């Protein structure tokens, strides 16, 4: 594959201070090509501020963010390098969808047919001439996605893209993200809800209070939840527990014939049992829900927890 | 990564500055409010000039010889009141080209599409200046033509070659782009629709309207830095009076050049420096 067209975002030591508030603190992560990277954090964690710094809209207090090794802020035709949907309402309500996209396309030297192509792709071709002031949030989200696709860029950023979309729209947008990644593009999708990205993302970048909590694959992240582990059912529970503990695992008894094991994989547990002639009646890997792992990890770093009163 | 296939890159030519000019032109012209304001405003100004000329035509026999001697037909093109309207209209449209981006959030979309902010500002300034200069020239020419057609019935028409006439017409035509660019600067500074329009009215129209030449020379020098003041007391007159209390023609042109220049620089600095 041709390396020059592949996009990668590198964020390095990025910080942003607003007066006394440190919105983003020393953030370092990479968004690789060919993957959908979920960018997760509770409300107020600093996701949007980070995205704005990547796009050169906000100046970092320190650190750098680069697209293919270059700061985005000096590019002449940004749409060809990065497609971004930050806020679907960042449009002028007095313009038609076609006029809005035409101005953006023209400013980047893109042919006019791209406007019709992206409008058709997001299924807004029928309302191209209608003024944006009359668009619903879902229609604006589609327009924002159309804007991001306009320049056929190798890097795409989407901030809370499913807000306002109907279930069919949500499925469509997930398929779109998967397809964009499969084409070799770097796709970053932010959300404050794990459920929105767990079916789309290959990797996760999780932040809380402006700091990095995790940067890893979805599977690795799921394993962090406290309910993750291996469930074993065996008539020789006590014997197996002692054996597994010696092998370095943490073992909890779940009744007379069941154990929960963490620190060893299911195949390894099975092998050890077999080697020592212990009969197993059940052996299963139990993954915590991603949502739960996310809640546990961000609980102490959430700025706006539900039910909290000042 | 094995599943990743290369993206087919479009062989589009690189974005040129003239593409940005076209983009700003589309943005300005795709707003119904701009088209209405500029269209109706231009027609209204031409209408006022014609109406005022008709009044002069009808009242001419009642003018004293002294009044007739002091009268100059080119003054029908823009009166003090219509000049104020023109400045408010042009200044507001100029302000809205920037405020419209900030107040709606469109600026984030714009600067994501074209991250090189100085190019966006340069294109916006160029398009606004060109559109407003065209508008000013059309209004001036049409008003002058209508006024001449009406007044020729009294044999009080003037020729473009008469002393001072071309200068007055040039100053009338330039009032719109000067006001529009100053409005842009105020819009960039304030980023709020109502505040920007109030500032345009205050700085460009209301304050200069209250000022009259005084016995204090420092005050006269200060007043002579305001665009509408120098237009009223110097550039709009075919034979400006030569008095130290009044602005000079050269000084007035400098004011007409410096205000939009400083405003454009201010817009550039504010837009490139601030987070959006």
Is A92 part of a structural domain of the chain? no
- How far is A68 from A81, CA to CA, in rounded Å? 9
pLDDT at B269 exceeding the cut of 70: yes
Q: Dihedral through CA B145, CA B147, CA B150, CA B156, nearest 10?
A: -110
Are residue A263 and residue A169 in the same domain, yes or no? no
Instruction: Provide the pLDDT for residue A219.
Output: 80
Which pLDDT belongs to residue B198? 96
With CB atoms and an 8 Å threshold, state whether B30 touches A34. no
Measured CA to CA, the distance from residue A177 to residue A156 in angstroms comes to: 9
Reported as a single tens digit per residue, the pLDDT across B125-161 is 999 999 999 999 999 999 999 999 999 988 888 888 8
Q: For residues A60 and A22, give the distance between their C-alpha atoms in angstroms, rounded to a whole number.
A: 11
Q: Would residue A112 count as lying in a domain?
A: no
**Does B112 contact A84 at a Cβ distance shorter than 8 Å?**
yes
CATH classification at residue A67? 3.40.50.300
What's the DSSP call for residue A287?
P
* Partner residue facing B106 (CB), from A6, A92, A108: A92
The shortest C-alpha distance from B96 to chain A (Å) reads 12
| CA–CA distance, A211 with A16 (Å, rounded to integer) | 11
Query: Are A110 and B12 an interchain contact pair (Cβ–Cβ within 8 Å)?
Result: yes
Which residues of chain A fall short of a pLDDT of 70? Answer: 1-5, 225-228, 287-289, 300-310
Torsion over CA: A120, A122, A124, A128 (sign): negative
Which one, of A156, A202, A184, A151, lies nearest residue A55 by Cα?
A: A156
Q: Are residues A211 and A270 in the same domain?
A: no
The sign of the dihedral angle between the CA atoms of A25, A28, A30, A36 is negative
CB distance A86–B3 less than 8 Å? no
Model pLDDT, residue B200: 95
Answer yes or no: do B19 and A6 touch at CB < 8 A.
no
CA A78 to chain centre: 22
Together in a domain, A73 and A8: yes
Residues A157 and A270 in one domain: no
Do A7 and A71 lie in one domain? The reply is yes
Q: Which domain holds residue A34?
A: 3-81+153-222
A17 inside domain? yes
Q: Is position A129 within any domain?
A: no
Two structure tokens written together for B59: 């009242």
- pLDDT the model gives residue A164: 87
**What's residue B6's pLDDT?**
46
pLDDT 10s digits, A174-189: 999 999 999 999 999 9
In a domain, A159, yes or no: yes
Q: What residues 69-98 of chain A have any CB closer than 8 A to a CB of chain B?
A: 72-80, 82, 84, 86-87, 89-96
- The complex's ipTM? 0.89
Q: A residues 137-166 near B, CB within 8 Å?
A: 147, 152, 154
Instruction: Tell me the C-alpha distance between B234 and A294, whole Å.
Output: 72
Smallest Cβ–Cβ distance between A76 and the set B8, B31, B114 belongs to B114
For A208-236, the DSSP string reads ETTEEEEEEEHHHHHTTSTT-EEEEE-TT
A 50-69: CB under 8 A from B: 52, 55-59
On whether both A181 and A238 belong to a single domain, the answer is: no
Report if residue A54 sits inside a domain.
yes
The pLDDT, as a whole number, for residue B187 is: 97
CA nearest B96 in A: which residue? A92
Q: Do A106 and B32 touch (CB under 8 A)?
A: no
Percent of all residues in chain B with a pLDDT value above 70, rounded to a whole number: 95
What element of type H or E holds A205?
strand A203-208
Helix axes A97-107, A137-149, angle to 10 degrees: 20
Q: Which pLDDT score, from 0 to 100, does residue A87 have?
A: 95
Task: Give dist(CA A147, CA A11) in Å, integer.
Answer: 24
Distance between A143 CA and the closest CA of chain B, angstroms? 12
Interface membership of A309 toward B (CB under 8 Å): no
**Nearest residue of B to residue A155 by CA position?**
B7
Distance from CA of B34 to the nearest CA of A (A): 10
Nearest to B94 by CA among B17, B6, B203, B213: B203
The per-residue pLDDT for B13 is 65
Residues 6+ apart with CB under 8 A from B250: none
Find the closest chain A residue to B12 by CA distance.
A110
| Residue B48 C-alpha from the chain's centroid | 18
Same domain membership, residue A253 and residue A159: no
Please list, in sequence order, all residues whose beta carbon lies within 8 angstroms of the beta carbon of residue B241, skipping any fewer than 6 positions away: none
**Closest-CA residue to B232 (of B129, B82, B41):** B82
- Domain match, A183 and A213 both: yes
- The span from the CA of A146 to the CA of A141, in Å, is 9
pLDDT at B58: 95
Domain C-terminal end among A222, A246, A266: A222
Shared domain check, A70 and A23: yes
Nearest to B116 among A2, A75, A95 (CB): A75
Put simply, the answer to whether B6 touches A2 (Cβ < 8 Å) is yes
Q: pLDDT averaged over chain B? A: 92
What's the gap in Å between the CA of B232 and the closest CA on chain A? 36
Using an 8 Å Cβ cutoff, are A96 and B30 in contact? yes
Distance CA(A222)–CA(A237), nearest Å, equals: 27
Q: What is the dihedral of CA A82, A87, A93, A98, to 10 degrees?
A: 30
The two tokens of residue B206 are 């209301």
Taking phi over 0 as left and psi of -120 to 50 as alpha, with beta for the rest, A257 belongs to alpha
Taking each helix axis from N to C end, the angle separating A266-275 and A237-246, rounded to the nearest 10 degrees, works out to 110
**What is the count of structural domains for chain A?**
2
Residue A166, domain member (yes or no): yes
What are the tens digits of pLDDT across the range B156-212? 888 888 889 999 999 999 999 999 999 999 999 999 999 999 999 999 999 998 999
User: Based on the domain organization, do A16 and A47 belong to the same domain?
Assistant: yes
User: Nearest residue of B to residue A154 by CA position?
Assistant: B7
Is residue A205 included in any domain, yes or no? yes
Q: Cβ of B80: how many Cβ atoms within 10 Å?
A: 12
B4 has pLDDT over 50: no
């Amino acid at each position: 594959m041709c390396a020059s067209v592949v996009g990668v975002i590198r964020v390095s030591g990025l910080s942003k201070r607003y007066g006394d508030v440190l919105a983003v603190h020393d953030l370092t992560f990479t968004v690789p090509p060919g993957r959908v990277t979920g960018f997760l954090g509770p409300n107020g964690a600093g996701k949007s501020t980070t995205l704005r710094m990547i796009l050169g809209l906000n100046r970092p207090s320190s650190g750098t963010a680069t697209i293919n090794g270059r700061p985005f802020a000096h590019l002449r035709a940004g749409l060809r390098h990065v497609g971004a949907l930050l806020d679907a309402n960042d449009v002028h309500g007095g313009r038609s969808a076609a006029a809005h996209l035409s101005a953006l396309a023209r400013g980047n030297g893109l042919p006019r047919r791209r406007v019709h192509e992206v409008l058709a792709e997001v299924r807004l071709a029928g309302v191209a001439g209608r003024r944006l002031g009359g668009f619903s949030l879902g229609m604006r989200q589609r327009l924002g996605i159309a804007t991001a696709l306009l320049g056929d860029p190798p890097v795409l950023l989407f901030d809370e893209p499913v807000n306002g979309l109907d279930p069919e729209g949500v499925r469509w947008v997930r398929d779109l993200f998967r397809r964009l990644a499969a084409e070799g593009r770097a796709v970053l999708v932010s959300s404050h809800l794990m459920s929105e990205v767990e079916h789309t993302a290959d990797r996760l970048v999780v932040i809380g209070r402006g700091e990095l909590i995790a940067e890893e694959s979805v599977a690795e992240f799921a394993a962090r939840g406290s309910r993750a582990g291996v469930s074993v059912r065996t008539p020789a529970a006590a014997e197996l527990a002692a054996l597994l503990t010696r092998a370095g695992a943490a073992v909890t008894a779940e009744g007379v014939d069941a154990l929960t094991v963490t620190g060893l994989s299911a195949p390894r547990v099975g092998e050890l049992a077999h080697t020592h002639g212990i009969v197993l009646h059940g052996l299963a890997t139990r993954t915590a829900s991603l949502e739960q792992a996310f809640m546990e990890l961000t609980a102490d770093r959430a700025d706006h927890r539900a039910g909290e009163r000042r | 990564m094995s599943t990743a296939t290369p993206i087919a890159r479009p062989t589009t030519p690189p974005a040129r500055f003239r593409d940005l000019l076209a983009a700003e032109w589309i943005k300005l012209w795709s707003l119904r409010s701009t088209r209405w304001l500029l269209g109706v405003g231009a027609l209204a100004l031409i209408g006022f000039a014609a109406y005022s000329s008709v009044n002069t035509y009808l009242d001419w026999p009642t003018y004293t010889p002294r009044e007739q001697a002091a009268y100059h037909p080119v003054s029908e093109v823009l009166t003090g009141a219509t000049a104020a309207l023109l400045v408010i209209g042009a200044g507001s449209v100029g302000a809205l080209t920037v405020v419209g981006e900030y107040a709606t959030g469109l600026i984030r979309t714009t600067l994501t599409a074209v991250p090189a902010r100085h190019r966006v500002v340069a294109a916006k300034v160029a398009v606004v200046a060109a559109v407003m200069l065209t508008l000013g020239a059309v209004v001036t020419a049409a008003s002058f033509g209508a006024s001449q057609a009406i007044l020729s019935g009294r044999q009080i028409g003037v020729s473009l070659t008469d002393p001072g006439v071309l200068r007055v017409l040039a100053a009338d035509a330039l009032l719109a782009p000067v006001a529009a660019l100053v409005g842009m600067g105020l819009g960039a500074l304030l980023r709020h629709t109502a505040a920007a329009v109030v500032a345009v009215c205050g700085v460009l129209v209301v304050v200069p309207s209250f000022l009259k030449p005084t016995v204090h020379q420092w005050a006269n020098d200060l007043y002579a830095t305001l665009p509408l003041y120098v237009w009223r007391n110097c550039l709009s007159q075919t034979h400006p009076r030569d008095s130290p209390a009044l602005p000079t023609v050269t000084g007035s042109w400098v004011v007409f050049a410096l205000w939009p220049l400083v405003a454009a620089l201010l817009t550039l600095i504010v837009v490139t420096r601030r987070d959006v």
